[in-house]
Amino acid sequence: MPIKKRVSQRPGFTPFVYFKGTTYRAKRIPSAELEKQFLTAGYPLTDVKKLRTDLADAIKNLNNRRPTYLLFVDTQKGKMAFLLRLFPKTGKILIRQQPAAHGVTGRGRLGSFVDLLKILKEGFRGNTLSNIELYHERRRMAWPIKERSQSGIVAGDSYSIELMEAFSNVQSPNSNETDLGLNVQKADPSKILRINIVLDESASEETIERKISYYKERLKGWSVHFIKPKK
């Protein structure tokens, strides 16, 4: 089958499903195969025919000037975003679920790191407001609005998590009726793809190395991406 799975080394994480092949093959993935993959993942499609039409239209929009496209898919549990990326030199296309970024906010003396640890243990729980953002480029995943930790070795650092979960449209605060935000109600720890840590820009190189060692120990088993300050 053209649809493949990459199994994470982290126990319990949901396999990463993707397609890589020619645009010709992508437009001809059988409907039954599409329905099977979404159903197996626990997100039954609402309309497989619409997905096939939207997928074909999205592929037509890809070119050298616009090599990426975000495709939104309706499931019975909400919307999911898929990134289409064209590789012009080979003519191949990659289709994979695009994670949503959530900036971790903090409460109490230690701030956002305590909340991060709680999310990793118990899962993410949202409210009814806009709480995630989507980007074409994964390197931007570290920059949603978030708060810094307040004390200890983690002081000055901030965090975002990448969620592989369905979402819905919600009205953004203080916005007009056409300005919709995106919301995830809840996500189990198995749906957290990666943690992004923006390190304190005022920290010395020695402190940065100490921070990284600390995080690697505390977050052992998780995929962590560190963003170091530019000196």
pLDDT digits (tens, 9 = 90+) for 131-176: 999 988 766 776 666 677 777 899 889 999 999 999 998 876 565 5
- Coil vs helix vs strand at 11: coil
> For the segment 48-89, what is each residue's pLDDT rounded down to a tens digit?
999 999 999 999 999 988 999 999 999 999 999 999 999 988
Over residues 95-115, mean pLDDT: 82
* Backbone torsions φ then ψ of 38, nearest 5 degrees: -70, -40
- Distance between CA atoms of 114 and 103, rounded to whole angstroms? 14
> For the segment 177-220, what is each residue's pLDDT rounded down to a tens digit?
556 789 999 999 989 999 999 999 999 999 999 999 999 999 99
> For the segment 15-42, what is each residue's pLDDT rounded down to a tens digit?
667 899 999 999 999 999 999 999 988 9
Task: Identify which of 127, 156, 167, 160 has the alpha carbon closest to the alpha carbon of residue 144.
Answer: 160
Kindly tell me if the per-residue pLDDT of 91 is higher than 60.
Answer: yes
Task: Identify which of 225, 187, 227 has the alpha carbon closest to the alpha carbon of residue 97.
Answer: 187
Amino acid 1: pLDDT: 35
- At 7, list the tokens: 């199994």
- Coil vs helix vs strand at 23: helix
Amino acid 88: pLDDT: 87
Cα–Cα distances in angstroms (integers) from residue 41 to residues 15, 144, 161, 166, 197, in the given order: 9, 27, 20, 11, 28
Query: Which pTM was predicted?
Result: 0.88
Read out DSSP for 200-214? -TT--HHHHHHHHHH
